[in-house]
Amino acid sequence: MAVSALCVLAILLFTLTSLSLGDTFIRLLPARKWADGERTGVAFLAGAGLLSLIVFAISLAGLAYKGVIIGFSIAVSLAYGWFAAPRVRFRVNWRSLLLFTPPTIFLVMYALYAFGPETSPDAMDYHLTFVDLYKRTGQFVVVQDSYQAGFPGASEMIFLFCDAIADFRACALSHLLFLVATIPLFLSFGRLIRNTTLGLVAAGLFIMSPIVGIDASTAYNDVALAAYGLGAAYLLAAWSRDRDTGSSGGALRDGHGDEIHGSGRDHRGRSFDFLHSTAAGSLPDSESAHLRIDLRNPRTAVAG
């Protein structure tokens, strides 16, 4: 029971610290209009990356102990809550909540699986072996008898954060949080094309994929990598939209440069500019290359 409580504490502190660091970092970027919920997934990913670097620095200093990590996390979260936290407005869309009930059940099953003993050979031999060594010593240790010690350890720094507070189960749960972080990213993609239902369905199908669930509830880094790829793709798409409209968060434009107005039903069957080629800005319109997505068939990319 005590270990389970520590796991919950570790995940809570990891989430709060990542969101605090990420949202603070986003505030330092050039101003743009963030839609409701749009910045949540981006802030979590940015904050988790920053937290990984901070834990790396703490380990270099030989201070990777439970008290130091908990104290740092609480200090960051309280400072953010006192000075920078925005007002949170909760708006429940019961239709979307009902549609997302099956994926939520899957997430609960994944969490219960992550709470079990870690049985994956890859997780035990690579991802967590060195994390446990750093946890016991409070710092990095030179390992000369394993080539795996030379692999990048970005996700392992997050695992070290959680493992220092609890145990291996907290590491698996922290990886599962990256799957949860894809939900606001998929929804943001849906809002980008004025079809939030499509984003909701995409998030649900991704979460309910068996291979995704097994991987996400294990101390791996594959789902975290997928989340960062999704986040990068969304930011590129949003940047392209902002550049085309000449503003931050303006209207979408279709493949002919016309603005798309209204709800998602108004533009079904039309196509819109998703990403311009790097040469599009310097070529005449007749020669510009665009990558367009046909909304009648999302699998089809039309070059024109």
Whole-number pLDDT of residue 36:
60
Residue 109: per-residue pLDDT:
94
- Which pairs count as long-range contacts for 262-269, CB under 8 Å and 24+ apart, including other chains? 262/194, 263/194, 264/193, 264/194, 264/195, 264/196, 264/197, 264/198, 266/194, 267/194, 267/295, 268/295, 268/296, 269/295, 269/296
Q: How far apart are the first and last CA of the chain?
A: 60
pLDDT at residue number 129: 85
Domain boundaries, the chain: 2-245, 252-303
Residue keyed to tokens 């649900």: 204
Phi and psi angles of residue 137, each rounded to the nearest 5 degrees, phi first: -95, -20
Predicted pLDDT of residue 13 = 96
The rounded distance, in Å, linking the Cα atoms of 191 and 197 is: 9
Strands (E), the chain: 252-253, 259-260, 271-276, 290-294, 301-303
Q: What was the pLDDT predicted at 79?
A: 93
CB 220 within 8 A of CB 178: no
Could you report the average pLDDT of every consecutive run of 10 residues in the chain (304 residues)? 84 96 87 73 94 95 94 95 71 70 93 86 81 89 78 88 92 95 92 87 93 91 94 90 64 39 37 34 38 45 44
Q: What is the pLDDT of residue 215?
A: 92
pTM of the model: 0.77
159 and 174 in contact (C-beta within 8 Å)? yes
> What's the pLDDT score for residue 17?
96
